[in-house]
Amino acid sequence: MNLTSSDLTTPIAKPHLSIRPPSGWQALDLREVWQFRDLLLSLAARDVKLRYRQTALGALWVLLQPLLGAGILSFVFNRLASLPTGSVPPILFSYVGMLSFTLFSSTLSKASSSLVGNSQLISKVYFPRLILPLSTVLSSLVDFGVGLLMLVVLMAIYRIPPTLALLSLPFWLGLIILLSLGFGLFFSAVMVTYRDVQYVLPVLISFLTFASPIAYTATFVASKTPVGLHTFYFLLNPLASLIDVARWAMLGSGQVLWNYVGWASLISIAAFVGGLLSFRQMEQRFADVI
Partner 1 sequence: MSSKDIAVSVRGLSKAYTIAHNAPKHTMVGEALMHRLKHPFQRAEKETFWALKDVEFDIQKGDVVGIIGRNGAGKSTLLKILSRITKPTTGQIDLYGRVGSLLEVGTGFHPELTGRENIFLNGAILGMRKREIERQFDAIVDFAGVEQFLDTPVKRYSSGMYVRLAFAVAAHLSPYILIIDEVLAVGDIEFQKKCLGKIGDVAKGGRTVLFVSHNMQTVNQMCSSAILFKSGRIEMQGGTKECVSQYLKLSKKEETQSKVFAPHDEVICLLDISLSQGGQTAEFLTSHPIDITASVVSKGLSVEELICGFILYDEINNEILSTFFNDMGDCEEPRHFNGTYKFSCSIPANILNEGKYRLIFDVGIAKKQRVTSDDTHFLEFTIKNIDGVASRFGLGTVWRSSPVLPLWDWNSSQQDAR
How far, CA to CA in Å, does 89 sit from each of 4, 10, 155, 220?
Answer: 64, 68, 10, 16
Nearest residue (CB) to partner 1, 22 versus 262: 22
For the bound state, the minimum distance from the C-beta of residue 113 to partner 1, rounded and expressed in Å, comes to 15
Nearer to partner 1 by C-beta: 196 or 259?
196
Torsion, Cα 236 271 99 48, to 10 degrees, reads -150
What distance in Å separates the CA atoms of residue 89 and residue 205, rounded to the nearest whole number? 26
Of 82 and 120, CB closest to partner 1: 120
Is 8 or 27 the residue whose CB approaches partner 1 more closely? 8
Residue 255: partners with Cβ closer than 8 Å, 6 or more residues away: 217, 219
Q: Smallest gap, in angstroms, from Cβ of residue 38 to partner 1?
A: 5
C-beta of residue 108 within 8 angstroms of C-beta of residue 187: yes
Site residues for partner 1 per CB under 8 A: 1-3, 7-8, 11-13, 15-22, 36, 38-39, 41-43, 45-46, 49-50, 53-54, 120-127, 193-196, 284, 287-288
Tell me the closest approach of the beta carbon of residue 290 to partner 1, in angstroms: 11
Judged by beta carbon, residue 126 or residue 164, the one nearer partner 1 is: 126
Burial call 69-79: b when 16+ CB within 10 Å, e when fewer: bbbebbeebbe
Q: Are 253 and 88 in contact (CB under 8 A)?
A: yes
CB-based contact 270:186 (threshold 8 Å)? no
In which region does residue 96 sit, left (phi positive, over 0), alpha (psi from -120 to 50) or beta (all else)? alpha
Q: Which is nearer to partner 1, 49 or 79 (CB)?
A: 49
DSSP summary character for residue 27: P
The smaller minimum CB distance to partner 1, of residues 53 and 159, is found at: 53
Residues 6+ apart with CB under 8 A from 283: 26, 129, 189
What's the min distance (Å) between Cβ of 287 and partner 1? 4
* Shortest distance, position 175 Cβ to partner 1, whole Å: 29
Q: Minimum distance between the CB of residue 196 and partner 1, rounded to whole angstroms?
A: 5
Rounded least distance, CB 264 to partner 1, Å: 28
